[in-house]
Amino acid sequence: MESRADIVVLGAGMVGVCAALHLQQRGRDVILVDRHERAGEETSYGNAGLIERASVFPYMFPREAGPILRYALNRAPEVRYHAADLPAFLPWLVRYFVASSPERALHSAVSALPLIRRSLAEHEALIEEADVPQLLRRTGWIKLFRSHATLAKALETLARAGQYGVEGEVLDSAGIAGREPGLTGDFAGAIHFPAPGFVPDPGGLAKAYAALFARKGGRFLVGDARTLEQRSGGWRIAGTNGAVVAREVVVAMGPWSDQVFRPLGYPIPLAVKRGYHLHLAARGNAVLHHPVLDSDMGFVLAPMNRGIRLTTGVEFARRDAPPTPVQVERALPRARKLFPLGEPVETKPWMGARPCLPDMLPVIGKAPRHNGLWFDFGHQHHGLTLGPATGRLLAEMMTGATPFADPKPFAVERFG
């Protein structure tokens, strides 16, 4: 049996589902293909749940000697690397460092700003249409600082971000206790960012969007994107219940996008930043009201539906290397001192991979050497945040509408 459509979207994470929805809204017959039977089973499942309108500056490589030395010695709580994998990802790290110069970092920030500003509004529209208002909380998030030095640096960043409309309230110890009475620690201060939305079940939100896509006539099929081949007048993918054929195809496979673009000859420098999370019960009557980042200790606690989610920073390793949840093990005793955590909900930590390009901008747009091939991946730490906004941008480009943001900074041609 052969299934036909106007467009096939490969990948049913937040990015792929939102691209499929926006294309569907513009009258296209779309098939969503994933290796899993349900949406949101990979990277989109594991994150801090933030629709991050306050992060106008991307996560760039540090330029100061102190952090670089800590990273090199594997002593930073927020970053860890596999020494055995260093030859594999070192060339990408060099490109990341070069792209993190102040001038280039500012270019990346300004380029992504229209997407960041649009992110929450696009989610709100989809959440209303999907009828899942319980999956969006308007609490913002809190960033804690244990040292006056890190607080002072954060205040400088807040002042710069304020030029782009970011708001943040500086909290002293009393202010921290007023918002989060369950926290314990000696803090120099904190910043509450009120604008970001919080999603207490990110994987559930991706599934809700996929259900909306299906209710509106979209089809979700299980298939292997690695079988993609160009045929006369379109593209073909092998599916579990038969082939899928379409005039156009969108690669939205996050950290697995290289399984498609590399065989087609595109030297896109995609790498991954791995991360881990673990859900734990709260002890007694303790309640966490906001996602909280302990910036000096390098972990986040977020009040998810499944429990308090402890999320770690970045691990540089091969995407498919065995999990090494050292950061979770190191963070857990520190997290227990910060908030009264009980027993883990899961038997072992979850691991995921963030798809990253050196300039921390996604690839969005048409592939230059193949008719009907489009890219939408590389959203780094902001797949949940930017999925609906980049889905809209891509759909506008594919249907000939005027894009709401300049697509040039996201073009694949920037990599040669």
Is 88 within a domain?
A: no
SS3 43: helix
CA 88 – CA 84 distance, rounded (Å):
9
What DSSP string runs through 138-200? Answer: ---EEEEESSHHHHHHHHHHHHHHHTTT---EEE-HHHHHHH-TT--S--SEEEEE-SSEE-S
CA 377 – CA 394 distance, rounded (Å):
11
Q: Output the pLDDT for position 173.
A: 96
Share the mean pLDDT of the chain: 96
Q: Which of 84-93, 136-145, 173-182 has the lowest mean pLDDT?
A: 84-93
Using pLDDT thresholds of 50, 70 and 90, give the confidence band for residue 391: very high
CA 364 – CA 399 distance, rounded (Å):
14
Average pLDDT of the residues in 213-219: 98
Q: Output the pLDDT for position 239.
A: 86
Q: Do residues 219 and 199 touch, judged by C-beta distance below 8 A?
A: no
Whether pLDDT at 190 is above 90 = yes
CA distances from 333 to 80, 137, 311, 343 (A): 18, 28, 13, 12
Domain that holds residue 398: 1-60+100-137+196-270+357-416
In total, how many domains does the chain have? 1
Whether pLDDT at 189 is above 90 = yes
CATH number (domain holding residue 395): 3.50.50.60
Judging by DSSP bridges, how do beta strands 314-316 and 242-251 pair with one another?
unpaired
Is 244 within a domain?
A: yes
Q: Output the pLDDT for position 74.
A: 87
Q: Output the pLDDT for position 122.
A: 98
Average pLDDT of the residues in 345-358: 96
Q: Do residues 240 and 233 touch, judged by C-beta distance below 8 A?
A: no
List, for residues 91-114, the tens digit of each pLDDT value.
Answer: 999 999 999 999 999 999 999 999
List, for residues 18-48, the tens digit of each pLDDT value.
Answer: 999 999 999 999 999 999 999 999 999 999 9
Average pLDDT of the residues in 246-265: 98
Q: Do residues 312 and 298 touch, judged by C-beta distance below 8 A?
A: yes
Is 239 within a domain?
A: yes
Q: Do residues 259 and 17 touch, judged by C-beta distance below 8 A?
A: no
Whether pLDDT at 372 is above 90 = yes
Whether pLDDT at 306 is above 90 = yes
Using pLDDT thresholds of 50, 70 and 90, give the confidence band for residue 416: confident
Average pLDDT of the residues in 318-330: 94
Is 46 within a domain?
A: yes
Average pLDDT of the residues in 328-333: 95
Instruction: List b or e across 216-230, with b for residues whose CB sees 16 or more CB atoms inside 10 angstroms.
Output: eebbbbebebeebee
Is 279 within a domain?
A: no
Is 55 within a domain?
A: yes
List, for residues 145-166, the tens digit of each pLDDT value.
Answer: 999 999 999 999 999 999 999 9
Using pLDDT thresholds of 50, 70 and 90, give the confidence band for residue 68: confident
Whether pLDDT at 401 is above 90 = yes
Q: Could you say which DSSP state residue 37 is in?
A: S
Please list, in sequence order, all residues whose beta carbon lies within 8 angstroms of the beta carbon of residue 292, skipping any fewer than 6 positions away: 141, 142, 143, 144, 180, 183, 300, 301, 302, 338, 339
Whether pLDDT at 334 is above 90 = yes
Average pLDDT of the residues in 73-92: 90
Whether pLDDT at 299 is above 90 = yes
What DSSP string runs through 316-345? Answer: ES-TTSPP-THHHHHHHHHHHHHS-EEEES
Q: Which of 116, 100, 16, 9 is nearest to 60 (CA)?
A: 100
Q: What percent of the chain has pLDDT over 70?
A: 100
Is 311 within a domain?
A: no
Whether pLDDT at 379 is above 90 = yes
Q: Do residues 269 and 95 touch, judged by C-beta distance below 8 A?
A: yes
Average pLDDT of the residues in 185-191: 97
Strand pairing partners for 80?
315
List, for residues 195-208, the tens digit of each pLDDT value.
Answer: 999 999 999 999 99
State whether the Cα torsion 105-196-188-325 is positive or negative: negative
Is 9 within a domain?
A: yes
Q: Could you say which DSSP state residue 403 is in?
A: P
Q: Output the pLDDT for position 277.
A: 97
Q: Output the pLDDT for position 63.
A: 86
Q: Output the pLDDT for position 66.
A: 87
